[in-house]
Structure 1
C-alpha cells in the first residue's frame, strides 16, 4: 500500500513539474519571438545606417563645407546611440 501511495506522490510531483515546465516553455517561446522581431528591426536599422554611411562618404568627398560634415557626423552618432539602446533592451 505504501508503494502505491509513494508512486502516486511521485506522479503528482512529476505532473506539477510538467505544468511548470510547460509554462516556462511558453514564456521562453514568447520571449524568443519578441527577440527575433527585435533582431530583425535592428538588422533593418543597421542596413539603413550602412546606406547613410555610404551617403556620408559621398557627401564628404563632394563638399568641403565642415557644417555638412558635422551634421552627418551628429546624425550617425545619434543612430549609433539608438542602436545601442535597442541592444540594451534586448539584454533585459
Structure 2
C-alpha cells in the first residue's frame, strides 16, 4: 500500500523557487547561496526505466547549507538534486 502525507503551513517570506542540478553519477550535493538555508530537498533519477537504480537517501546537512542525494546505482541519463532555499534567520 502506498501512503502519502501533506503538511500545509503559512508561506515563509523570502523562500525562492527550487534550484536543481543534474549529476552524472549515483550521488550529488547542492548548496544554497550565501545567507540562505535549505527549507526542502528532493531528487532522483529519470521517470523512464533506469534498471536497478533506486533513491537511497535524501539528507540535508546539519547546518542546512546544502543537501546530498544518493541513488543505489547511477541512473541512465543522470540524477537530479533539488533544494529549496530561504532566509537563514
Do the two structures share a fold, i.e. TM-score over 0.5? Answer: no
Q: Larger C-alpha radius of gyration, 1 or 2?
A: 1
Greater share of strand residues, 1 or 2? 2
Structure number having the greater helix percentage: 1
**TM-score normalised to structure 2 length:** 0.20
